[in-house]
Amino acid sequence: MPQKILIVDDELSILRSFSSLMQDEGYKTTTAESAEQAIGKCRETGFDLVLLDLRFPGQSGIDFLKWIKEEPYPPMVLVVSGQSDIPTALEAVKLGAIDYLEKPVQAEKLIASVRSSLLLVAADRQRNLMVNDIDSRSQIIGASKAVKKLFKIVRQVAPTEATVLITGENGTGKELVATRIYLESKRREKPFVKVNCPGIPATLFESELFGHVRGAFTGAVKDYPGKFVLADGGTIFLDEIGDLSLDCQAKLLRAIETGEVETLGSVQKRLVDVRVICASNQNLQKLVSEGRFRQDLFYRISVFVVEVPPLRDRLDDIPLLVGEFLKRFDPAQTTKLSAEAVAYLTTLDYPGNVRQLKNIIERLTILFHYQTVEANDLMAHVTPCPTPTSLPPQASSLSEKVGGFEKYLIRKTLEDAGGNISEAARLLKIDRANLSKKVKELKLKEF
């Protein structure tokens, strides 16, 4: 489909010549003789690019730029005007114009500027598609008290520029939380660069993070900008930062504090604007006391700390997680889990946390294609871990385990609902009368 260009000028000869020139290049054109007409046409249809003059009777081109800047999905604007004073040009660029060309403009120069602008349009659309795809795949699943608290913390810190340290056990979803902070930040449209710190040899640390020029060392066959430069304007995520050597920590601290990146093999330094998010499954304060992590770096990266809860602290999220993983690994929904099977999953211990549950569900979608998984199937294919403290220690049979979990889940939901049976019934998606009956049967007298 040809890209669409709106040409806005009050000179008919300009409209005809620009329109003919753009059509010869394969673009679809629409014209407007005033800013008011241009606004009306933008409301009727979407454009990829606007070629805009600034001088009109009535509303000016600057007025048009002010209007379009407030639109949710504005086209790019290339100003082509005979009004050549510098303050006006600066104001146009400040309002979002991609470039400013002075009339009369050569055809070759106009075509080159249009091509460049439309390449940026295509790049922006591709980036938006990627961000939206990441967004849809990076939702934190859960409705437990622990997850609601996590949601609140993420929403508080995401819009700020604060450096964040995410802590938690392996498999809890620290990278997922980092991604949510990025997606809900003001840097959402900018790069998000992930760095697996344990995967970088100490000898290559500077090269990977700060870049190198060709010939800086053996094997440097071409220039490489480094992760910090790639993340310029956006966010860098340093996963498992506790595994870095002290020497690497010192180099990282300097880059974070000064914003200066010194490329290997180059005498020039480059300033970068990067938000830093770190994660660790280790107790960094303990590492500091043991002399294995720099105290100054710890304080620099822990301006705001987010702790991700382990799965054992949010067992009532398991049914929601199971449903999400089933959709992910079996979009056709040919594999199903019975209520008893889901209940059995909630009786297991999860040292591997959410990642472990995710792997279990993926395995089940392979083993039980077009089948319903029962609790006995799980007992045969999933190795149980020690009984969690949330269940009665004497529970040994399946019915006892399921009954124990049912009592635990109802009690937990009632606590989250502040003792309100109607609210708890809504959360559990059961009839209020049935829940009230269950409360009496299970002797939950305090509610």
pLDDT at 81: 85
- Helix (H) / strand (E) containing 276: strand 275-280
- Helix (H) / strand (E) containing 356: helix 353-367
CATH topology of domain 143-309: Rossmann fold (3.40.50)
CA quadruple 374, 375, 377, 382: dihedral sign: positive
Q: One-letter amino acid identity for 121?
A: V
Question: What residue spans of 222-352 are helical by DSSP H?
Answer: 227-230, 246-258, 284-289, 295-301, 318-329, 339-345
* Distant-in-sequence, close-in-space partners of 138: CB < 8 Å, separation ≥ 6: 176, 179, 180, 183
pLDDT at 363: 93
- Helix (H) / strand (E) containing 192: strand 192-196
pLDDT at 415: 77
CA distance 427 to 414: 9
CA distance 27 to 51: 13
What distance, in Å, lies between the first and last C-alpha atoms of the chain?
A: 63
Q: One-letter amino acid identity for 98?
A: I
Give pLDDT tens digits along the chain (447 positions).
788 999 999 889 999 999 999 999 999 999 999 999 999 999 888 899 999 998 888 888 899 999 988 887 788 899 998 766 678 778 888 888 888 888 888 898 899 889 888 887 877 777 666 666 666 677 889 989 999 999 999 999 999 999 999 999 999 999 999 999 999 999 988 889 999 999 998 888 988 999 888 877 777 778 888 899 999 999 999 999 999 999 999 999 999 999 998 888 877 788 999 999 999 999 999 999 999 999 999 999 999 999 999 999 999 999 999 999 999 999 998 999 998 899 989 988 899 999 999 999 999 999 998 999 998 888 887 765 444 444 444 444 556 666 666 777 787 778 777 778 888 888 777 888 888 888 888 777 555
Q: What is the CATH number of domain 313-441?
A: 1.10.8.60
pLDDT at 82: 79
Q: Fold identical between 143-309 and 313-441?
A: no
Q: Where do the domains of the chain lie?
A: 4-131, 143-309, 313-441
438: helix, coil or strand? helix
**Helices (runs of H) and strands (runs of E) counted in the chain:** 19, 14
CATH topology of domain 4-131: Rossmann fold (3.40.50)
pLDDT at 393: 44
CB atoms within 10 A of CB 201: 11
